[in-house]
Amino acid sequence: MKNLRFISAVAAACALFASQPVLAAELSFDTYGSAVITAGQGTVQESSAEVPGGGSETVHFYGPGGQNAGDSTTPNTVQNEQAPAPESEGSASSPVITAGEADSPGQVQQSLSDPAAGGEQGGTESPEGVPSGELFPADQGMAQAEAVSGEQATAASGRVVDPSRPMVALTFDDGPQPSVGNRIMDCLAQYGGKATFFMVGERVGSYAAEVQRMVAEGHEVANHSMNHKYFQKLGPAQIQAQVSQANDAIEAACGVRPKLMRLPGGNVNNTVKANVNMPMIQWNIDTLDWKTKNADKTVQAVLSKVKDGDIVLMHELYSQSGDAAVRMIPELVNRGFQLVTVSEMAAAKGKNLEPGKLYSSMP
């Protein structure tokens, strides 16, 4: 009976490979006496072979293509499932097809009796400062975007900012925070807008995927200090460290070094001006979203007075701020505003942003 089952399985597999002339197959026997067929790399396909005793077993093999059949979520990737080990040396085990190299290193083993399934694997700011990264778990399903500079992304998309049309810069502080930032970016993508994200360096490493998405989609990544300390209370060396460490963290996460700085709380004195050594971006519309945590009030704070050249202050940490952003973005576009980054606005307005100077709007 065992021999008949073995012969039937081999015959079925041979028939399958015969129908795929581009595949090379090698028949051998494993330690437990099971048939092992080694095939080339490529697309998973299926066929059913009758086996003695009734029923059928599904054969998976790889042909040209490199994508797991039935799995549209992870192109160019073979989803792997390890064949179960036999219970004992003398027990009968299902024949195993061992595929050649897939997109990931190592061999891929598929059980004939248990087909692999597709799918995924799994002007003032808050006086309390910024919560640490552990309090805000990153989104699980988000794939990491390729890190390219904002200038490259803009050029690749053919994006043009028209200096003759009104524009506004939406800016978001205290992130990254994926549950809010990704919603904002989704909405901006729908309406062709870009934003500037002033990020706290100590949070960036925990949410690198979101930061990479910012860059890949043409948003501007910018510095909001390493630990959200108020600079007017610090000495020169401490100020310089807060700036440089945040720049280093952001660059390490996405490959782009920030060009702009926003001071925590907007607090500034002569010592701060002398030691930041970056253009310091303030704002002229303060939504107070951190204080009210009310989407209606945040939307009203912007739409009631927005005009060309405004820089709007919001915060990425709060879900209500995300709610407000996805409501105001389409309305701003409907009113004829271009939603631009701070650097895009400066270029369109002919402004040369200088280190050590503050900018709150660009009319």
Please list the active-site residues: 173, 315
Angle between helices 150-157 and 208-216 (to 10 degrees): 40
CA distances from 234 to 119, 150, 280 (A): 51, 32, 17
CA atoms within 13 A on the CB side of 12: 25
Task: Please give the structure tokens belonging to residue 238.
Answer: 């401490």
As a whole number of angstroms, the distance between CA 97 and CA 9 comes to 11
- The verdict on whether omega for the bond into residue 105 sits within 30 degrees of 0, i.e. cis, is no
Residue ranges with strand state E in the chain = 26-29, 35-39, 43-50, 56-63, 96-99, 108-111, 167-175, 196-199, 220-223, 280-281, 285-286, 310-315, 338-339, 358-359
> What is the DSSP secondary structure assignment for residue 62, as one 8-state letter?
E
State the distance between the two ends of the chain, measured CA to CA, in whole angstroms. Answer: 86
As a whole number of angstroms, the distance between CA 281 and CA 274 comes to 15
> What is the DSSP secondary structure assignment for residue 360, as one 8-state letter?
S
CA distances from 77 to 11, 46, 62, 301 (A): 29, 17, 12, 47
As a whole number of angstroms, the distance between CA 338 and CA 211 comes to 23
CA atoms within 13 A on the CB side of 61: 27
Q: Do residues 318 and 290 touch, judged by C-beta distance below 8 A? A: yes
- The verdict on whether omega for the bond into residue 176 sits within 30 degrees of 0, i.e. cis, is yes
H/E segment holding residue 289: helix 289-292
Task: Please give the structure tokens belonging to residue 350.
Answer: 């002919």
Nearest to 200 by CA among 241, 257, 269, 247: 247
